[in-house]
């Protein structure tokens, strides 16, 4: 379905981003990976699916590096057809104790980076009259949780950016939508499980059960593969008039 198309997935060396990159690669898209950590392992996993893979190590908190990433993606594969804004970080603390530097980093990586990639990707998408922009928000783009001020603010912000981008492209073949996962067991969430286990003196298993039980009625994690399949749907022909939605896949979290 996505043969001869290029997908750029930010923060795709791990977790949800890597799951989405693999799902799009299975549909034939060439992939531009981005993110830190074990780059070679991520590249190998995507390459094994038989598509072309490039990597750019832009720090998504830095607009100049994002400009470089977008120029690299365009010059490597011609154009970015599918843009998945996924890079994100978390920090947990009460508002009055929230480190200012963490606030700035979360807003830059989880929100402003999507503004920069979107503004830079749109001209070529408009020219081709086809494009898909998928913002990985969170159930925290729809509801709040204590001690996550920067994250919740950034995720509500990216849902807003999604709506405006969708409105501005509404009469074109470019769509913009957000995906709002509940808990997904990635390194980002494992850190929160570890912190809970340490704070309560309980096992990893018990901390996981408590974490799910607090928010997610299904008592199950959503998986990167499931989110990848939703991204595939949003790239497909049946979704051409799905515009500006914030689609939760959250085990019932936001239904409460």
Interface with ligand NAD (CB under 6 A) = 11-17, 34-37, 59-61, 86-89, 109-110, 136, 138, 181, 183-184, 186-189
Alpha-carbon 148 to chain mean position: 17
- Spatial separation of the C-alpha atoms in residues 179 and 246, rounded to whole Å: 6
In eight-state DSSP terms, residue 148 is B
**φ and ψ of 2, to 5 deg:** -115, 20
As measured in angstroms, the least distance from the Cβ of 247 to ligand NAD is 12
- Spatial separation of the C-alpha atoms in residues 103 and 186, rounded to whole Å: 21
- Report the half-sphere exposure of 117 (CA within 13 A, side-chain side): 38
Nearer Cβ to ligand NAD, position 105 or 128? 105
As measured in angstroms, the least distance from the Cβ of 155 to ligand NAD is 7
As measured in angstroms, the least distance from the Cβ of 126 to ligand NAD is 26
Q: How far apart are the first and last CA of the chain?
A: 36
Nearer Cβ to ligand NAD, position 76 or 145? 145
As measured in angstroms, the least distance from the Cβ of 183 to ligand NAD is 5
Nearer Cβ to ligand NAD, position 51 or 108? 108
Give the residues across from 34 on adjacent strands. 56
Do strands 174-181 and 131-136 pair parallel, antiparallel, or not at all (unpaired)? parallel
- From residue 206, give the alpha-carbon distance in Å to each of 102, 126, 202: 29, 50, 6
50 Rama class: left (phi>0) / alpha (psi -120 to 50) / beta: left
As measured in angstroms, the least distance from the Cβ of 58 to ligand NAD is 6
Contacts of 150 (CB under 8 A, 6+ apart): 91, 98, 102, 103, 106, 107, 110
Which residue numbers are catalytic?
151
Nearer Cβ to ligand NAD, position 181 or 228? 181
Nearer Cβ to ligand NAD, position 187 or 201? 187
């Amino acid at each position: 379905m996505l043969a001869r198309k290029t997908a750029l997935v930010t923060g795709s060396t791990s977790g949800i981003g890597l799951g989405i990159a693999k799902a799009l690669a299975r549909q034939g898209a060439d992939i531009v990976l981005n993110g830190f950590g074990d780059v070679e392992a991520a590249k190998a996993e995507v390459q094994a699916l038989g598509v072309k893979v490039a990597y750019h190590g832009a720090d998504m908190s830095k607009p100049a590096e994002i400009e470089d990433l977008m120029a690299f993606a365009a010059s490597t594969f011609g154009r970015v057809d599918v843009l998945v804004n996924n890079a994100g970080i978390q920090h947990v603390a009460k508002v009055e104790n929230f480190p200012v530097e963490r606030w700035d980093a979360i807003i830059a990586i989880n929100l402003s980076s999507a503004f920069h990639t979107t503004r830079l990707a749109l001209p070529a998408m408009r020219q081709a009259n086809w494009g898909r922009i998928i913002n990985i928000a969170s159930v925290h783009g729809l509801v709040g949780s204590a001690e996550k001020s920067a994250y919740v603010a950034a995720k509500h912000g990216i849902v807003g950016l999604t709506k405006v981008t969708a409105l501005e492209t509404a009469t074109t073949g470019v769509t913009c939508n957000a995906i709002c996962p509940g808990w997904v067991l990635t390194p980002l969430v494992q850190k929160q499980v570890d912190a809970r286990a340490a704070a309560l003196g309980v096992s990893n298993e018990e901390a996981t059960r408590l974490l799910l039980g607090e928010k997610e009625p299904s008592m199950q994690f959503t998986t990167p593969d499931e989110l990848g399949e939703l991204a595939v749907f949003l790239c497909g022909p049946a979704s051409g008039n799905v515009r500006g939605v914030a689609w939760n896949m959250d085990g019932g979290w936001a239904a409460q």
